[in-house]
Structures are given as structure tokens and as C-alpha cells.
Amino acid sequence: MTEKRKRRVVVTGLGCVSPLGLDVASLWQGFMEGRSGIDYITRFDTAEFATKFAGEVKGFDPLNWLSNREVRQMDRFIHLAIAASDEAKKDAGLSTITDEFAPRVASIMGVGVGGLESIEITHDKMREVGSPKRISPYFIPMMISNLAPGQVSMRHNLKGPSYTVTSACASATHAIGDAFRLIADGTVDMAFSGGAEATVTELGIGGFNAIKALSTRNDAPQKASRPFDQDRDGFVMGEGAAVVILEELHHALSRGAKIYAEMTGYGATADANHITQPAPGGEGAIRCMTLCIQDAGLQPRDVDYVNAHGTSTPVNDPLESIAMKAVFGEYAKKVAVSSTKSMTGHLLGAAGAVEAVALAKAIENQCAPPTINLENPAPECDMDYVPHKARSMKIDHAMSNSLGFGGTNATIMFSRYTE
């Protein structure tokens, strides 16, 4: 930990709704089983689409969390955020956030796109009748991205800073990093932070098909997300939400909270290179990981496990591997690396939140999730990617990378809590 940081930050609650299930236990069980949550899309007719599968959240009924009226006033990404926040709050052992404490609790979420489904539905209704009179008065608050943390703050009485971070696939990781710094610097004592995304829609799938970013392995959806594999052909879209509750250490101890891990480091950089292509040699990712490790007061050899960005795209996987090898040097062959996107798909702005949950659970259980579908590693991808099966191992320090369009990079570090 850097000398300037006086306050320690710990993880005391986890919540998740993902393609592997409707809670954290289901997510972790899926990881331990090496099970894919990818299947054929059910939310719209894919007959005209090049990609016909995704990581949908299955069996999710927002009425289990919200009233009929509330459901109609929110987009799906907000429904998912609410569900994850409820689980995280319960998991953290929190009851009512009192008005006295509320100003010391932040609500910061990463959302890459926002209410895409609401935009599509509203546009279709307006064109159908040829009049803007069909636009719902709730349309704007349904689709704007800051209503994920906004609705979470209103639901749980969180009166500290409340905002959305939008930085493509790094959104949730940046949000968690921002929350970390707000607590460490003394601005707040607690934060509900994470990410939410629901872009398994016609425009979402069609748009990423248009730039040929998605896998088209329609004959074998569960084999389609294959990070670091020679036969990868693009990423798989996923949807979901995850929330981690970060808390100042003494506050957590004073209320007897369970501590999953300590958040010890955060790095953020930009490639300043290209709208979709990483910087040559992974230069931006190298600086990002290095800053995170330094921020945690660690050396590269101290890192036991990395949850890689690992998107299963031809460009990302080799460049991220090159970047990790540059950061870890001679230790690169010893650090365990995996991509849980092989099981969940890529949740865009919410991806880093699900992967933060994976870090906390990995430290709690001393077990690294696997990279499934890694049958034929690409020549440039020659690290230890924990293939096929979860691995019991010592994990004192675990790191997660998120690298997004526009050249935005974020890395966080969770460490085993010690007094």
C-alpha cells in the first residue's frame, strides 16, 4: 500500500446476476464446474443475425425484486443492478442505512451502454404511429446510464456520491477503482459499486456483428468463448450485473462484518492509439498493470492470480498476453491467469464487476477459476491460463484487467486480508 493512503478498504458484500445464475453462489458454482452460461438467444428472433447466441440471464423475473409499476419504469439493466445490489447488501449484513450514515455511502456503477432495449422499443412505437405521443414519460430515466446507481441509491438510502462511469468494457473496473479511492481518501466510508449491462438486443448484437467483433460459432455456442485459443473468432455478448460493497476497514470491524478481501491497488491508463485496437505491444495495459501493482505496494512476483480481460478476440488475447509477460518478466510463466469470460461471455460495462466478484471468491476459497474451451492455445498465448478446471492454490494477491474500446484500461488488486 502506498504511504499516502491512510485508510484501508475491504470488501464486505457481494451480489451478482449473471448468465451462470441469479446469485453469487450460482456464479461461483459455475466457475468451479467449468460450466458455460452461453446458449441460443431467446429475447428476439435471430434469423437474420450472423450471431445467434449470447450469455443471457436466464429465469430472471424482475417482479421478484420490484413492483409492476417499478418494472415498467426501468430498463432491464437497472432491474439487474437492483437485484445485485440487494444481494450485496444482504451479504454484507447491512439492514437499513440510517439517515445519519447515508451521506457516507456512495453508489458508483459502471455501465457501458445503458437502456438500449428501451431505446429500441420506444423508437419502434413512435415510428409505428408516426407520433412522439407514444413516448413514455419514463423513457429518459429508463435509458440513461446513471439511473443504475441512481435507483440503487434511492432503494438503499445512499446519499454519498452517486454516478455512472462509462468507459466501454472498463466501466465497472473504473467504478470500483473510483469507489476505492473515495473511501481511502476519507470522502465516504462505504460504497455500493460494480456494473450493469443488458445489451443482448437487436441493436446490440447487430452492431457488434457489423464490426465483426462477435463469434459466429452458431453450431456450438458453449464452445464459442475461447480466450487465448488458436480457433477463437470473436467475443460472446453477455448480460448481467454485479455489486461489491467496499468499506473502510475500521468501520467494517466495528460492526463485525465478514471480510472477503482487502482492495489494495488500482491503475488506470489510456492507449491514445485507436478506437478499437490496443496500443502496439500492449503499452497502455503494461502501464496500467504496473501502476496497480505499485499502488498496492507490491512487486510483480507477489501477484498469484490474474483474471485477464481475455475476450476471445484475435486482437486482445495475444496483446494482453504480451503485456502481462512484459509486466511479470521471468515470473510470467508462474502466475496463474484465467478468463472467466469463457463461461459468462463478455458483459461489456459490467464485465469488471463480475470479475471483481471472481477475485474476492478466489481469495476466499483459495481457488482460481478456469479458462474453459482452451483446446489449442495460440502461439502468442503461452502463459498458464488455468485450462479447463478450477485450481486450488495459494492466492494472497489477485488482479483483474479490463481493457476497452477507445483505448481505456483499468486494473484492480484484491489481497487476502490480514490485520
208: enclosing H helix or E strand: helix 202-210
Cell numbers linked to 378: 495460440
Neighbouring residues of 31: CB distance < 8 A, sequence distance ≥ 6: 20, 340, 343, 358, 361, 369, 370, 390
In 3D, which of 198, 199, 203, 204 has the Cα closest to residue 241?
Answer: 198
Of 79, 346, 381, 397, the active-site residue reads 346
How many whole angstroms from its chain centre is CA 340? 10
355: enclosing H helix or E strand: helix 351-365
Of 79, 156, 174, 309, the active-site residue reads 309
Write out the E strands in 170-288.
190-197, 240-248, 261-270
Cell numbers linked to 233: 473468432
In 3D, which of 81, 66, 77 has the Cα closest to residue 243?
Answer: 81
What is the rounded CA–CA span in Å between residue 301 and residue 58?
40
Active site residue 123: no
CA distances from 103 to 5, 12, 190, 230 (A): 22, 19, 10, 50
Neighbouring residues of 233: CB distance < 8 A, sequence distance ≥ 6: 215, 216, 217, 224, 314
Of 16, 79, 169, 174, the active-site residue reads 169
238 three-state secondary structure: strand
Do the Cβ atoms of 380 and 318 come closer than 8 Å? yes
Note the maximum CA span of the chain. Answer: 65
β pairing state of 9-17 and 240-248: antiparallel
Active site residue 156: no
Active site residue 309: yes
- Residues serving a catalytic function are 169, 309, 346
